[in-house]
Amino acid sequence: MSKTVVMSGGVGAAKFLRGLSKIHPPDSITAIINVADDFRLHGLAISPDIDTVTYTLAEQVNPETGWGQKGETWRVMSELERYKGQTWFSLGDLDLALHLYRTQRLAEGSTLAEVTKEVSAAWEIEVNLLPVTNHPVRTRLTVEGEGDIDFQDYFVARQHDVAINAVRFDGASDAIPAPGVLEAINEASHIVIAPSNPIVSIGPLLAIPGILEALVQNKERVVAVSPIIGGLALKGPADRMLSELGHEPSALGVASLYQPFSSALLIDTADKHLSTKISNLGIKAVVANTVMSDISKAAQVALSAINATNPPLTGA
Ligand code: FO1
């Protein structure tokens, strides 16, 4: 059975994985998920990207936000407002159960990978969900004229509406890949870099010692999907972050970041004109529709990505 690995952030990766699981057996897919957005609030261990992938594959994600559960209620948050508690990060009543469970299991000595497996089994998810590491890694951003802040402070509290001039991943250099991560990369027939933010979703994965090296070694089987279409991110601040950090905010900018470890880049038809420039960087540009507005389009994007590293036989 051919095996596929998807290097994953949150919302974009989750949609891609859901599409992929419609065209490949779910148990042949491994998602290696970013943990650098994780943080503690109210004493609870919160892992947004893992949970977004979990709820999406369980077909339970809130379709409006792309994170949290659909049909969620907010009674605990409303009650917390009474005490003027920390309500800037919205934890739904149902979602809170997952954070309570994870926090308790980690306190008992389980690893994040073990808890992630338990949670995905509870949702009957067949895709293998692996946090990239069991070690704490935390994104910190330097805000112009202000200093360093935590990821969720940037992303949610400030709605990524401040200019940044540096990003770092605290703890990454001391972290080791979670059990099974390097094996999955080395055994995969296809490795997809999901359409996630290159700086703060894919960046932290590459910062864990051993991951970038494993991708470089398997470069012929690595295809990336550009999260930038027509110079814009479909969701989130990836376009602005790229330009604030000195990269071109386009599929070409993504190509130059990913060229060291990817042999192909799936770009949207809107960016077709960039194909030659991208190919000149030494990374094959493959043009397709990449907007995942529904499940069948997500499956189509997944098929295009898979075919980009493994061209289908033509009748010729
Ligand atoms: N994103 C928001 O913009 N506002 C929120 O209040 C918020 C709450 C939240 C709760 C649980 C969860 O798993 C994710 C949540 N997110 C929220 C999304 C999350 O902060 C980001 O999408 C990721 O960290 C970026 O990939």
- To test the pocket of ligand 1, the residue of 39, 155, 197 to mutate (highest count of ligand atoms within 8 Å of its CB) is 155
Give the pLDDT confidence score for residue 269 in this predicted structure: 98
Taken in order 175, 240, 49, 299, the sign of the CA dihedral is negative
Q: Is the pLDDT of residue 1 over 80?
A: no
Give the pLDDT confidence score for residue 311 in this predicted structure: 53
At a CB cut-off of 8 Å and minimum separation 6, what does 221 contact? Answer: 188, 189, 190, 191, 263, 309
- To test the pocket of ligand 1, the residue of 15, 47, 89 to mutate (highest count of ligand atoms within 8 Å of its CB) is 89
Going from the Cα of 1 to the center of ligand 1, the distance in angstroms, rounded, reads 35
Distance in angstroms (rounded) separating the CA atoms of residues 175 and 52: 23
13-30 pLDDT per residue, tens? 999 999 999 999 999 999
Q: Residue 1 in contact with residue 277, Cβ under 8 Å?
A: no
Q: Closest Cα to atom 25, ligand 1: which residue?
A: 10
Q: Closest Cα to atom 10, ligand 1: which residue?
A: 91
State whether the beta carbon of 90 lies less than 6 angstroms from ligand 1: yes
Q: Report the DSSP pairing between strands 164-170 and 128-131.
A: unpaired
**pLDDT (mean) for 306-312:** 77
Helix boundaries (H) for 24-111: 48-57, 75-82, 93-107
Q: Is the pLDDT of residue 313 over 70?
A: no
Give the pLDDT confidence score for residue 145 in this predicted structure: 87
State whether the beta carbon of 152 lies less than 6 angstroms from ligand 1: yes
% of the chain exceeding 70 in pLDDT: 98
**pLDDT (mean) for 220-235:** 96
Q: Report the DSSP pairing between strands 44-46 and 4-8.
A: unpaired
159-197 pLDDT per residue, tens? 999 999 999 999 999 999 999 999 999 999 999 999 999
CB atoms within 10 A of CB 276: 9
- To test the pocket of ligand 1, the residue of 51, 156, 200 to mutate (highest count of ligand atoms within 8 Å of its CB) is 156
With cut-offs at 50, 70 and 90, classify the pLDDT of residue 315.
Answer: very low
**pLDDT (mean) for 90-104:** 98
Going from the Cα of 10 to the center of ligand 1, the distance in angstroms, rounded, reads 9
Q: In the structure encoding, which two tokens stand for residue 180, read together? A: 């099974």
Going along the chain from its start, the domains and CATH numbers come out as 4-136+172-306 (3.40.50.10680), 138-170 (no CATH)
> What's the burial of 64, exposed, middle or buried (CB within 10 Å: 0-12/13-18/19+)?
exposed
62-84 pLDDT per residue, tens? 999 999 999 999 999 999 999 99
Q: Is the pLDDT of residue 297 over 60?
A: yes
State whether the beta carbon of 10 lies less than 6 angstroms from ligand 1: yes
138-163 pLDDT per residue, tens? 999 999 889 999 999 999 999 999 99
State whether the beta carbon of 91 lies less than 6 angstroms from ligand 1: yes
